[in-house]
Structure 1
């Protein structure tokens, strides 16, 4: 067999073997890899290249080394699952870098981090004052996670005692100018509804690069032609405006009449509508 053809065959074999073995190792992002997993990934890549181009050696030697590395990696992962001590030795444990707004210099030295590097990581999380941080922890993967002090945390509905409904999943109903029937049926809609909404926007299916329907049934589209701007759907804003207008009319009627019974009726209706507006505003104001 000619050398170039042998290299092609070896490369295809190494790709197939590498694919199967990496499937065994599971999915992890680069930032989630431990030190040993990072080294294993580099070594496996080198071994795959060795199998591909080193035609002077038997191909099974490289495959054997590849399999051994993967088996060792799987064994270590199994050991980490079963033993916390093994996890601490192999991956180390998390280290607190900031506690109560105070930077722990000894822990910084232990993790070989400078104060400039710590402040840089905080700025990446939009935190510019270390004193605002309740806890900052560096994980075994090297990522720094931060918890702000309560007074600096963004206000959420839970802070205000407001219960909100879960946000339904947004569905992609048009991709590359083609209608996706399964996502449409998942949210209880059909093609007739979709065509009606597209007519309101003045576009056709063929011109839509991506079309999405949010949890409230609102259609948003991105066109192939970036120079054409599609107006944002205004149904929710119009409904909120109409509710406010009705509430204002009821309040005006209550003020304009002198009779006690109608005045009380308009006042009660106005207050009830105010409560309704308060309840639905988070959904309609987005």
Structure 2
């Protein structure tokens, strides 16, 4: 009987912890969920640890645990608000970007301040598909721990503009308009298009909507169409 009560209590604790943690995560916003900085990362781990503690440890007072989650979340929201209002506070709380390679020269003093060695720097460069520091003009160590780089002019990939090719500004963002044979009305509306327009496009290609499995709107306004019988067409 005692074990059954413990199981019920754990289920209730877990359910309420899940709901409260979800609500707090929504309140803290997407920045917290993406763990942009070290502070956000630590906050995420701490909230998860508190939730796990009150969900699985029956000797932990449930109300105390929920109070901890809510108060920690409110403190995080407060810190984020202060960071938005004050540039100095933002630097203090989140840190700031640090240039570690400038005009092709490695800044050893900055690396030392960041507690990075050359092996660390080389690894971060390789993660950006750069295997030689000689290729780098500027490198910036971001507050969230990643390296942003600008290659030297001669190492940068050639763009259409460099080749003097004519470029056209995209009319649409590529998006799904039919998935599993069902029209995604929301995406059509966001693109400023209608169901009648879609049907007219299909009619012009002698395709019936009922035969379609998937359609994706392309950036130039054309449609990528996948029929149910796996015949692929591009209009």
TM-score class, shorter-chain normalisation, is: 0.7 to 0.9
Residue 47 (structure 1) aligned to one of 29, 46, 50: 50
Tell which structure's C-alpha radius of gyration is larger. 1
1:197 matched to 2:205: yes
Deviation at 1:163, TM superposition (A): 6.8
In structure 2, the CA distance between the partners of 1:106 and 1:48, relative to structure 1 (3 Å rule), is same
Question: TM-score, normalising length from structure 1?
Answer: 0.68
Question: TM-score, normalising length from structure 2?
Answer: 0.81
Aligned to 1:86: 89
Aligned to 1:140: 143
Aligned to 1:180: 184
SS of the residue aligned with 1:156?
A: coil
C-alpha distance in 2, partners of 1:14/1:205?
Answer: 45
Deviation at 1:215, TM superposition (A): 2.9
1:158-173 aligned within 5 A: 158-159=161-162, 164-168=167-171, 169-173=173-177
Deviations for 1:17-65, whole angstroms, at most 9, x for unmatched residues?
A: 1111111111137764322222211111111122222223431110111
1:122 matched to 2:125: yes
In structure 2, the CA distance between the partners of 1:31 and 1:179, relative to structure 1 (3 Å rule), is closer
Question: Relative contact order (C-alpha < 8 Å, sep 6+): which is higher?
Answer: 2
Deviation at 1:121, TM superposition (A): 2.4
1:48-127 aligned within 5 A: 48-127=51-130
Deviation at 1:135, TM superposition (A): 0.8
In structure 2, the CA distance between the partners of 1:106 and 1:115, relative to structure 1 (3 Å rule), is same
C-alpha distance in 1, partners of 2:84/2:188?
Answer: 41
Deviation at 1:149, TM superposition (A): 2.4
Structure 1 stretches lacking a partner, 5+ long: 236-286
Residue 23 (structure 1) aligned to one of 17, 23, 26: 26
Aligned to 1:249: none
Deviation at 1:176, TM superposition (A): 1.5
Contact 1:213–1:219 under 8 Å retained in 2: yes
SS of the residue aligned with 1:56?
A: coil
The number of residue pairs the alignment matches comes to: 227
Deviations for 1:220-251, whole angstroms, at most 9, x for unmatched residues?
A: 235678xx5736x3x7xxxxxxxxxxxxxxxx
Deviates more, 1:190-199 or 1:115-124: 190-199
SS of the residue aligned with 2:177?
A: strand
C-alpha distance in 2, partners of 1:160/1:65?
Answer: 59
C-alpha distance in 1, partners of 2:51/2:184?
Answer: 40
Point out the structure with the larger helix share.
Answer: 1
Residue 157 (structure 2) aligned to one of 143, 154, 157: 154
C-alpha distance in 2, partners of 1:183/1:23?
Answer: 24
1:13 matched to 2:16: yes
C-alpha distance in 2, partners of 1:116/1:222?
Answer: 48
Deviation at 1:132, TM superposition (A): 2.3
